[in-house]
Amino acid sequence: MDLKAIFKNGASRFLKKTGLPHLFFSGFFVFLLAALSGCGSVTYPEARLKEALQEIALKEYGISHIEVEFEGTTLGVFLPLDKLFSTDLKEALMSGKVTDMESLFQPTEEAINKVEDILFSMSRVMLSTDKKIDFYYLQATDVENSGMDLTFVGQIDDLKRVRFWDIPRSEYRKRIIHDLHVNRAALWHKPVRHFFKDLNEATVSDVQNRYFQNTAQAKWAGEFFFTDTGGSVTPRGRAKWTILDLRSIPIQDHDIVVYAKAEAGPKDPKDAGLKPKIMEYLFQVSITGDTEKIRRIIPMAYLDDKAAMPDFSFTRAMVVSSLPNWEKEFKTPDITTGDFLSRQLTRRFQMIAAEDERISNTFSSIKLVVRFEPKPPPFFLFTAVASLQNPKAVAYSPEQGIHEDTLYFWDRVAREFVEVLRSYSFQDYEFLKFQLSQGRKVLTWVAKREDLELFRRHKKSLRDILVLSAESH
């Protein structure tokens, strides 16, 4: 079985049926409403916001590692987890005995607690800082097993509104965007993370056996500080390694190059012979089945700027220039209100399609998405692939117009659309487009913003304001 296909088909059902939002947000609301009633002052100034969030995670919840970054007005936090799901996905799929797909994606209690703790910590700093933050993004990644991300996206104003009971909890849950994704980089980087952990903890003989079986000890021990000041090999490494950056790029189907930047500092503060030093390496990682293995380690200092090595096609200049485009485990998106609303509306419309009895009984295989196009004029585009179950019915014909069931579906969508955008006071768009694929034709109807307001106030019907666009083809 293909894990990506399973995720694609089962993740949305898992999030809905397992009650994941309730599991995470029930305790989150208790904390939020009880403990944040006094927030409002600048407790966490912008200058040390990152450090403050990391300190809260460590001191109050024992979470030793999170990454914090900002992109635009979005606060992003990366939470690496040893295990996200209760079930070992690979083992379960290999057994061929999976009968309940949703059960595969049941998170562990420890993962639930950690995500909830970090969400609460983020809310504390966001509500008490002078830095402008409009959105927050939390990515919890299983870096040891499945390589899957559980992500949460929310708006800070929604957090404030639920805090003051301006919106109910049920509505707030609808405004949180949560998703599951496969994180390829997390799997590719796993053996490299293990390598640096072994440098910190393992004996020289274990490191030799695991990574340098065909390399003389004298050739690698000094590079990784397994020698004393006199050059003699030590039982364990003198350095404490801290990973600063990991990025990767696939060069063949089963061959990956991983770039690692790490700081090596003395384990013993009295070790005056070892000064903190930033080191850079390239790792060639091969993938066989579900196993990732380091095949080669190349210090960046060994690469020439212009000439490639005989058996390695990268030059130092090539790596440096292309590195910003290599894959990372974590990257905070620059979230805009239009994109946030389009993702939220997509999820809301999916719920409408699944829960409305008339829609589910008259359509089959509904796939829909909402996009926001910021280019002038800005607009929202609703696209749905939804076949009428009656084989004789067509969604549109020039003689009869839009089929009544299609129009009913669109009416439900449009009603939710106008109410959500009014709640957010969002008017930076000109119209809503409805796009319909029928055979080889793509038909588009346009509803202008001012007409949608009349529709919202029940002054006009949706049929009255829809105009077939000339761009239909």
Percent of the chain's residues with pLDDT above 90: 70
When pLDDT is averaged across residues 287-310 and rounded to a whole number, the result is: 87
When pLDDT is averaged across residues 286-309 and rounded to a whole number, the result is: 88
CA distance 472 to 355: 30
Dump pLDDT digits (tens) for 50-81.
999 999 999 999 999 999 999 999 999 999 99
Interacting residues of 383 by C-beta distance below 8 A, sequence separation 6+: 368, 369, 370, 371, 435, 437
CA distance 40 to 153: 22
Nearest to 199 by CA among 237, 228, 243: 237
102 versus 399: the higher-pLDDT residue is: 399
How remote is the C-alpha of 145 from its chain's centroid? 17
When pLDDT is averaged across residues 437-448 and rounded to a whole number, the result is: 90
Dump pLDDT digits (tens) for 215-230.
999 999 999 999 998 8
pLDDT surpassing 70 at residue 467: yes
Confidence of residue 2 (pLDDT cuts 50, 70, 90): very low
pTM of the entire predicted model: 0.85
Pairing label, strands 363-373, 467-468: unpaired
Q: How many helices (H) and strands (E) does the chain have?
A: 16, 16
CA distance 383 to 212: 54
Percent of the chain's residues with pLDDT above 70: 87
pLDDT surpassing 80 at residue 95: no
Query: What DSSP state is assigned to residue 296?
Result: E
**Burial readout 207-235 (b: 16 or more C-beta within 10 A, e: otherwise):** bbeebbeeeeeeebbeebbbbeeeeeeee
Confidence of residue 93 (pLDDT cuts 50, 70, 90): very low
According to the model, what pLDDT value does residue 90 have?
57
According to the model, what pLDDT value does residue 439 have?
77
Helix (H, G, I), strand (E, B) or coil at 299: strand
CA distance 378 to 384: 20
According to the model, what pLDDT value does residue 470 have?
73
Helix (H, G, I), strand (E, B) or coil at 373: strand
Dump pLDDT digits (tens) for 174-186.
999 999 999 999 9
Taking all residues of the chain, what is their mean pLDDT, rounded to a whole number?
87
Dump pLDDT digits (tens) for 395-411.
999 898 999 999 999 99
pLDDT surpassing 80 at residue 25: no
Sign of CA dihedral 127, 129, 133, 138: negative
